[in-house]
A and B are shown apart, each in its own frame.
Chain A
Amino acid sequence: MQNDILFILKGMGLTVNLYIMTMIFSLPLGILFSLGRLKNKGIINNIIVAYTSIFRGTPLLLQLFFVYYGLPIVGITLSAFSAATLTFVVNYAAYYCEIFRGSILGIDKGQYEAAQVLGLSYWQTMIRIIIPQSLITALPPLSNEAIALVKDTSLVSAIGMAEILRNSRELVTRDFSIIPFAICGALYFLMSVVIIWLFKKLEEKVMI
């Protein structure tokens, strides 16, 4: 039993790794894309619209298969972890882009005007005044995505990565016991609760 739990916990390392990598890269990318979407009415805006539509409009699992099994056909072979990280970052950045776009659009026009009459440039205004405020108002929807990501990491078991779900399933088929699935569920739940708690603390700290 103890070995079983350890075996499942070993998978958790991978899950957490993938989670952190996805967060670190997709959040800034999402902000960057949302700015491109707001600032530019031309080609950049169109490209970002197409990108967010495609990645939000097709299954994440399909995107994962495309990167891991599909790209080698055109000569791009990635390790399972790289493929998973790339797919998750690009997919989540698409969602974050839309979240940040919404929260930036929600900032009062008076904030831009106050910054302008104080002499701040467009980028100074965005970086110092608008983005910090939109990060705060984006926290509730971000927290939803952050929990969704915990559960979405289970998809990488489909490309053979030994994360929590895959390790649990191995034990279930080996021992014909349902307990590993219960442990697996408890671990996902635990991670989600921790994320929810972190966001709640963050919100309490920065709410304006």
Chain B
Amino acid sequence: MSFIQVKNLQKKYNEDQVLKGIDLEIQKGEAISIIGSSGGGKSTFLRCLIGLEDINYGEIKIPDRKKMGMVFQSFNLFPHKTVAHNIMESLIVVDKMEKKEAKKIALELLDRVGLKDKANVYPKTLSGGQKQRVAIARALARNPEVLLFDEPTSALDPEMVKEVLNVIEKLREESNITMIIVSHEMNFVNKVSDRIVVFDGGYIKEIKENRRKK
């Protein structure tokens, strides 16, 4: 029994059928990359997995949505909260953690993404790459078993792409989090993925085994 099972998943927006029947099984601890031309349904697939979209047909079996995190293309940090409070938010509100304890965890996570010194600033003062690293730390605060990355570097200037990819690579090496990554960065994809899934026109066109370059 696979960790995540998707059977004949279909999704349409009005008359536009974006996913036309996706079958995919993902093992615990696996890193899957999804590639393919835009409009192929890659982001929609992630959004269906985590419940941001209702599905029209098919089946999704996942362990627990509470144990899933997502990193967005456009970061979606909360602009009215400091970097530390962005990370503390779910710990305080959802996990009912003491503020002091939440702060401690936030600082540890910021340290992991190399931004401990930015704890008390607001997101607007950060570069794109820094914002995305904070977003990754925020997703990690949920202690997720599954992390979804929706084109995490597509909104970044070229010189910032590397710092974000490095954080994800490091996370891949140091943790057993199952990762599903939508990305166009082929070097990165080859480096971190166990399998590479090619989406095309709402179908899975190909699944390639990939030996990770360590």
Contacts and interface: CB of A to CB of B under 8 A. Distances in A.
Contact of A114 (B66, B76, B93): B76
Contacts of B89: 118, 120, 128
Interface residues of A, number: 18
Interface residues of B, number: 23
A119 B51 CA distance: 11
B214 interface: no
Contacts of A110: 72, 74, 76
A128 to B, nearest CB: 7
A177 interface: no
Contacts of B158: none
Given A124-B93, A208-B122, A118 B142 contact: yes
B80 A136 contact: yes
Interface in A118-149: 118-120, 124, 128-129, 132-133, 136
Contact of A120 (B80, B94, B139): B94
A129 B52 CA distance: 17
A113 B94 CA distance: 15
A117 B68 contact: yes
Contacts of B79: 133, 208
A116 B94 contact: no
Given A117-B50, A118-B89, A119-B94, A111 B124 contact: no
Interface of A: 108, 110-111, 113-114, 116-120, 124, 128-129, 132-133, 136, 206, 208
